Amino acid sequence: MTNSVRRVFLFYLTICLVSPGLSSQEIKLPAFKGFKLRENYPVYTPDNLWDLIDGAADAYLSYDFLDAHVAEYKKGRELIKAEIYHHKDHLMAFGIYSSERSPSYKFINIGAQGYTSGGALNFFKGDYYVKLRTYSKKPAIIQSEQELARRIAATIEGSEKMPEIISLFPGGGKIENSETYINKNVLGHDFLANAIKADYQNGTDSFSIFIIQNPSEDAIRKTVATYMAATGIDAVDTGEDKYILSDGYNGKIFVAWKDNLLVIISGLAKDQAELAGKYTLQILK
């Protein structure tokens, strides 16, 4: 091998070995007094995630999953299992977290947000979604699980805030902690993506609001044009930058946009345009 070829080979080898680590925090699970830490699990990647969560793997992959670290904390017969899922960014971590939470859960202040349900404790922080689980019913073990979650959160880098776009949702009638991030196939359409959704209850009316933020106003207008084309001639013009669409999958849909923001409301009837307009105005103002 000549010197020039060797230098090229070493350059590409360095890129392959070093580059992935630049975007990934090295995960080191903390020791926990009274529990024996067992880390005899592989690091899971998109290639073998099915070995860990089987049928749920596709959902995690759709939110740009990168890798997962797993460990067990054992104390006698009691066991707490910890799983740390790394995703591409903060929004993707929120997306998979929000897809598995319910407004009915008990929410706790860990990371950006966390909740408990039975023996499960899940939270997200930065680019990470963390899940702890114990089958023990003992209060001391449940308390230990929460303390362990806080220690793990302290070792994870990244934002402890909810995605900023959530603040655009009006408060009136919004079901608390119903927000979810949908990365693909919003309302079942492959041309709708990257939406934050929140559920609302206004009197007897239940409906959902989706907010899509794109890099440019032109991208938003193209999305609206594609949506209108998909619904044929059933679009009803309600004024500038506002339409009511007859969506074969979802019934009447209210669409409004301004600059690089698109608002979609589903679940309301055609004669409820005034109610839909009230919410879109608050978001787009």
Q: Which residues contact 31 (CB under 8 A, 6 or more apart)?
A: 37
Final residue in a domain of this structure, among 88, 120, 155: 155
In this structure, the answer to whether residues 91 and 113 fall within a common structural domain is yes
Domain endpoint, select from 134, 155, 176: 155
Which of 122, 155, 188 terminates a domain? The answer is: 155
- How far apart (Å, rounded) are the C-alpha atoms in residues 266 and 187? 9
Kindly state whether residue 250 falls inside one of the protein's structural domains. yes
Cα gap 92→215, rounded to integer Å: 17
Domain membership flag for residue 119? yes
For the segment 74-112, what is each residue's pLDDT rounded down to a tens digit?
999 999 999 999 999 999 999 999 999 999 999 999 999
Taking residue 133's Cβ as centre, other Cβ atoms within 10 Å add up to 15
Q: How far, rounded to the nearest angstrom, does the alpha carbon of residue 164 sit from its chain's CA centroid?
A: 13
Q: Structure pTM?
A: 0.86
DSSP SS3 for 125: strand
Per the structure, the count of domains in the chain is 2
Q: Tell me, what's the pLDDT at 25?
A: 66
- Expressed as residue numbers, the domain containing 105 is 24-155
What CATH number corresponds to the domain at position 258? Answer: 3.40.1000.20
Residues 6+ apart with CB under 8 A from 75: 34, 35, 36, 141, 144
Nearest by Cα to 206 from 277, 270, 269:
269
Residues 196 and 223 in one domain: yes
pLDDT digits (tens, 9 = 90+) for 179-209: 999 999 999 999 999 999 999 999 999 999 9
